[in-house]
């Protein structure tokens, strides 16, 4: 019995040793496989490090810039990098080359500056004294971008000088029309007068001003001729005395020569009334065709430095005055 037990134990020990030996052999086989796998991985990584990297592009994503990549030992295979034309707003690039194998830049591409817009010729109509002008839409003739919107050019307006526009030559303030005085209810009466719609423009000087702007108005009615004067275009010349007349010496120049007239502003009045003695002479001048000049100075000694100068264009005065009076033109 004891011999059988000993034989059984020996058999078990031998089996156990065989199993342990097989287990050690399996582990060694797995280590060999794992080492072979690691070797293959290392070889693959080494091969990747030695291969050429992708070709680099410039900062704008197109074309090839100069490369620091070593190309020693590479038999370059040139590839053309095409030229990119500039636009109105974006730069372009010159043609270049790089190696298809190692990626080295053989001919670097250079930047071509943006061309800039080229405005097309636009339709334009210059404004006049009385009519607006027009300037059409401006576009780039290359890319079509709108550079300036269409706009209206405002009318320039007349520049009056003694009743005539210096820009277009049109008579301003020299067109005579008939108007009617109004009563205390601001209603028109039968009493008429002939005058111009606009003021005549002249100049005046005194102890405080030289050649400043003067507006003048000449009014003719059935009773006679009066003159209104406005210094600086707004300050009306008037008589501040409630008792005395302010007298003036008026020199009138026509194509026939100079004529000396007299006139006066009544007490507390606002207009110079030409003496009746000279009414016919002034009417004769206004019926003519040439410009009539008026030079006016006050008689008072303390205002002798003051003088007024303006000119009047007769234009249609003769026909308008004749229409109201029945006088022959």
163-190: average pLDDT = 81
Per residue in 13-43, pLDDT (tens digit) is 666 665 666 666 666 667 677 777 777 767 6
Q: What is the pLDDT of residues 115-160, one digit of tens each?
A: 888 887 778 888 888 888 888 778 888 888 887 888 888 888 766 5
Distance of alpha carbon 81 from alpha carbon 70, whole angstroms? 20
Contact 274, 250 (CB under 8 A): yes
Residue 289 pLDDT greater than 60, yes or no? yes
The residues, ordered by sequence, that sit 6+ positions from 52 with a Cβ below 8 Å of its Cβ are: 69, 74, 101, 102, 103
Whether 186 shows a pLDDT value over 60: the answer reads yes
Q: Judge whether residue 85 has pLDDT over 80.
A: yes
Reported pTM: 0.52
User: Do residues 306 and 206 lie in contact, with contact meaning Cβ atoms separated by under 8 Å?
Assistant: yes
pLDDT attached to residue 172: 60
Among candidate residues 64, 70, 106, the one with its CA nearest the CA of residue 83: 64
Q: Which positions ≥6 away from 285 have C-beta within 8 Å?
A: 252, 254, 259, 292, 314
CA pair distance 266, 242, nearest whole angstrom? 9
Which of 97, 100, 125, 119 is CA-nearest to residue 110? Answer: 97
Q: Give CA–CA dist 233/173, Å, rounded.
A: 14
pLDDT surpasses 80 at 44:
no
Average pLDDT over residues 105-121: 87
Comparing 229 with 161, the larger pLDDT belongs to: 229
- 64 contacts 105 by C-beta, under 8 angstroms: yes
* Cα-only R_g, the chain: 54
Question: What's the whole-number average pLDDT of the chain?
Answer: 81
Residue 18 host element (H or E): helix 2-50
Does 328 or 103 have the greater pLDDT score? 103
Cα separation, 319 vs 88, in Å, equals: 66
Question: Residue 162 above 60 pLDDT?
Answer: no
First to last CA, the chain: 176
């Amino acid at each position: 019995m004891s011999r059988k037990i000993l034989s059984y134990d020996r058999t078990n020990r031998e089996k156990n040793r065989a199993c342990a030996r097989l287990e050690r052999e399996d582990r060694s086989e797995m280590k060999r496989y794992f080492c072979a796998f690691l070797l293959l991985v290392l070889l693959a990584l080494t091969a990747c490090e030695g291969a050429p990297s992708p070709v680099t592009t410039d900062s704008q994503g197109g074309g090839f810039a100069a490369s620091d990549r070593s190309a020693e030992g590479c038999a370059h295979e040139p590839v053309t990098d095409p030229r990119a034309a500039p636009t109105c707003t974006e730069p372009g690039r010159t043609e270049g080359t790089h190696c298809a194998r190692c990626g080295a830049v053989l001919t670097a591409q250079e930047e071509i500056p943006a061309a800039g817009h080229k405005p097309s010729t636009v339709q334009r109509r210059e404004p006049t004294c009385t009519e607006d002008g027009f300037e059409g839409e401006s576009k780039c003739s290359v890319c079509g971008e709108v550079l300036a919107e269409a706009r209206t050019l405002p009318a320039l307006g007349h520049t009056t000088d003694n009743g005539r526009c210096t820009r277009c030559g049109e008579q301003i303030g020299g067109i005579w029309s008939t108007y009617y005085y109004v009563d205390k209810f601001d209603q028109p009466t039968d009493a008429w007068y002939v005058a111009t719609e606009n003021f005549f423009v002249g100049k005046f000087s005194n102890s405080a001003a030289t050649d400043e702007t003067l507006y003048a108005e000449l009014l003719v009615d059935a009773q006679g001729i009066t003159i209104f004067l406005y210094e600086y275009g707004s300050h009306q010349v008037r008589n501040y005395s409630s008792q005395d007349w302010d007298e003036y010496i008026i020199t009138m120049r026509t194509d026939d020569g100079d004529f000396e007239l007299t006139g006066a502003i009544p007490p507390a009045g606002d207009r110079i009334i030409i003496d009746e003695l000279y009414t016919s002479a002034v009417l004769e001048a206004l019926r003519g065709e040439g410009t009539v000049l008026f030079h006016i100075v006050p008689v008072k000694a303390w205002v002798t430095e003051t003088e007024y100068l303006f000119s009047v264009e007769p234009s249609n005065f003769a026909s308008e005055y004749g229409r109201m009076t029945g006088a022959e033109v």
